[in-house]
Amino acid sequence: MTKSAKKTDVDVWMPLYIGDYLADTSRLSTEQHGAYFLLIMDYWRNGAPPDDDVILAQITKATGAGWRKLRSAMLMFFEVVDGKWMHSRIEEELAKAKERAEKAQAKARKAADARWSTEAVPEQQAEQCIEDAPSNATSIPQAMHKECPSPSPSPPLLPKERSKTLSGRPDALAILAYLNERTGRNYQPVDSNTKLIVGRLREGATVEQCKAVIDAKVAKWGADARMDEFLRPKTLFGATNFAQYAGELGVTKPAASNDPEGWRKDPKFAGGK
């Protein structure tokens, strides 16, 4: 058993049931008690010892002659199987300890997933991957225009008042469906996937802004195996990441325009001409 396995698979403490121990060892001498303790503690840390008198003498701190006197008494508690001294009670306790460790690890992973499901990918990780991602486009809008033309004409931006009234779950579901369509994924409409999108909509983002960010990142990351995994709701719509991605696109409605369709002519947008 390696050091890493010991730390991961079993507890750092060994259970000792006093009543059981005394009942089983009542006829051992003081020296035999010491040898037995050393054997079971080594077993707990390193697994079943080999049926090798030199190694067993080393474990019990006995001389060769001393171990030969101890061996028969010690064999009352062990069974030699496939060249190893097996101890059924220790094997049982090791299995319990491993099960406890696995349950604790699963609980910790579940808690971590719940904690991080609403937060963005660490910026340094995302930034490093972004820098390494190959791209022939000179800008994100250019990549959007050349590589990811909109499959159908997009409606004009919603007025601010109307956007607020629609910035709930229905819009989030539409955006999630669009992400699935663009990436070929099947993200389910569960809270962990939709509440981040709802949060960005409530902060003032529009459906079109969200789709534009998806288009841009599909264009830039879709062909990169390292970045493709980040085409997911918690990366794209984390508060910090989304603000950066939307800012890179410059996706804002013109301040003064009597033509609600005029924004389409802005070359910053994927659908601009």
Instruction: Tell me the pLDDT tens digit for each residue of 24-61.
Output: 898 899 999 999 999 999 999 899 999 999 999 999 99
- Residue 207, pLDDT above cutoff 90: yes
Residue pointed to by tokens 């991080």 = 116
Dihedrals φ, ψ of 81, to 5°?
-130, 125
pLDDT digits (tens, 9 = 90+) for 228-273: 889 999 899 999 999 999 988 865 443 444 444 444 444 544 444 3
Q: Which of 141, 238, 144, 218 is nearest to 178 (CA)?
A: 218
| Res 109: pLDDT | 86
- Band of the pLDDT at 113, cuts 50, 70, 90? confident
Residue 127's pLDDT is: 54
Residue 256 three-state SS = coil
pLDDT in tens, 71-82: 999 999 999 999
Full set of structural domains in the chain with CATH: 3-94 (1.10.10), 139-265 (no CATH)
Q: Which residue's entry shows tokens 């059924």?
A: 88
pTM of structure:
0.37
